[in-house]
Structure 1
Amino acid sequence: MNQENVCATLTIAAPAEKVFAVLADPTTHSAIDGTGWVQEAVNQAPLTEVGQVFRMDMYHANHPDGDYQVANKVRVLDPPRAISWLTGQDKGDGNLEFGGWFWRYDLAPLGADETEVTLTYDWSAVPPQIREYLQFPPFGPRHLTDSLDHLAELARGLRNR
């Protein structure tokens, strides 16, 4: 497989500002997640600047520890049009290490109350030593569409966190 990213797009019946606000709130990420791996936000402050780090508690049955934590670093923040973050981990010495994959949401207003949202998961910068033990993408094909469906429910106020 030569493709190094996957994308999904959904039109959401909510203004771009509201959709962006949901995405910029780390406390909503567990409700957005289509895998069930994201548990809760360790850092609950809204995302407001490039370079900001926010940590999330995670769970995956195949992870060596089961429960673990990721450190995400905001790489794009262009309200209400785009938001993206790299996913990594704390190396235990105060330094963060990123694996080379990122999440990105692109929002295109289609009017006052409708937004086209494209979710991209990109692993093109993952180094060979990580590709030896992690398969990409690490989730099934429905993950992105499920995540967008959950985002739509949150943005329309139909889903509790």
Structure 2
Amino acid sequence: MSRVVSSSIDVDAPAATVFAILADPRQHARIDGSGSVRDTVSGPQRLERGATFGVDMKLAGVPYRISNRVVEFEEGRLIAWRHFGGHRWRYELEPTAEGGTRVTESFDYSMYAAPQRLLIEALGFPARNRRGIEQTLVTLKSVAEADARTAREGDRR
């Protein structure tokens, strides 16, 4: 059984626009489709490999704070971070033939030993995270396309 939950979407915006949103932790609440990411963020304005950042979260109405470390980073192409527990959130960007970007978001919990994996599955996190990923991608598409339009309009002035 795969321990990676992922989904993809095509965005009518250049990879640089999409990546600028993902690499700015203060924009994560702007695109979050799970409803768990809050606005308060600590850390750098722009992420890079090895950067750490904290985010206020809420799950089932219970607030908490989580720390993350960027573990993969390729400018304009790939960014991933791990929570303290070890699971990884990853975004891969690929240019499309139409000049846009195909974005794949994934939640990878394969690094856990059997007891933790079973608990994650019993609590329904794979299905819950799939729904969150799918909604996040829809929101990211809307936000990135709006940002790209604004940039194009600014270039015409």
TM-score interval w.r.t. the shorter chain?
0.7 to 0.9
Separation in structure 2 between the aligned mates of residue 53 and residue 18 of structure 1, nearest angstrom: 22
The number of aligned residues is 144
- Specify which structure has the higher proportion of strand: 1
Specify whether residues 138 and 42 from structure 1 end up closer, same or farther in structure 2 by C-alpha distance, changes over 3 A only: farther
Give the C-alpha shift of residue 130 in structure 1: 3.0
Point out the more displaced range, 40-49 or 51-60: 40-49
Give the C-alpha shift of residue 129 in structure 1: 4.4
Contact 1:55–1:71 (8 Å) recurs in 2: yes
The answer for the alignment partner of 1:141 in structure 2 is 130
Separation in structure 2 between the aligned mates of residue 140 and residue 26 of structure 1, nearest angstrom: 19
Separation in structure 1 between the aligned mates of residue 30 and residue 43 of structure 2, nearest angstrom: 14
The answer for the alignment partner of 2:16 in structure 1 is 17
Counterpart residue type for residue 102 of structure 1:
R
The answer for the alignment partner of 1:42 in structure 2 is 41
The answer for the alignment partner of 1:121 in structure 2 is 107
Unmatched runs of 5 consecutive residues or more in structure 2: 148-157
Q: Within the alignment, does 1:74 sit opposite 2:70 as a pair?
A: yes
The CA RMSD over aligned residues, in Å, is 2.0
The answer for the alignment partner of 2:95 in structure 1 is 109
Q: Deviations over 1:96-119 (max 9, x none)?
A: xxx221011110112574001111
- Specify which structure has the higher proportion of helix: 2
Identical pairs, percent: 34
Contact 1:53–1:73 (8 Å) recurs in 2: yes
Equivalent residues in 2 for 1:1-16 (5 A)?
2-16=1-15
Counterpart residue type for residue 37 of structure 1:
S
Separation in structure 2 between the aligned mates of residue 83 and residue 129 of structure 1, nearest angstrom: 28
3-state SS, counterpart of residue 137 of structure 1? helix
Contact 1:29–1:41 (8 Å) recurs in 2: no
Unmatched runs of 5 consecutive residues or more in structure 1: 89-98
TM-score, with structure 2 as normaliser: 0.82
Contact 2:79–2:91 (8 Å) recurs in 1: yes
Give the C-alpha shift of residue 6 in structure 1: 1.1
Point out the more displaced range, 4-13 or 103-112: 103-112
Q: Deviations over 1:76-104 (max 9, x none)?
A: 1101010000012xxxxxxxxxx221011
Counterpart residue type for residue 104 of structure 2:
T
The runs of 4+ residues in structure 1 deviating greater than 6 Å are none
Specify whether residues 3 and 147 from structure 1 end up closer, same or farther in structure 2 by C-alpha distance, changes over 3 A only: same
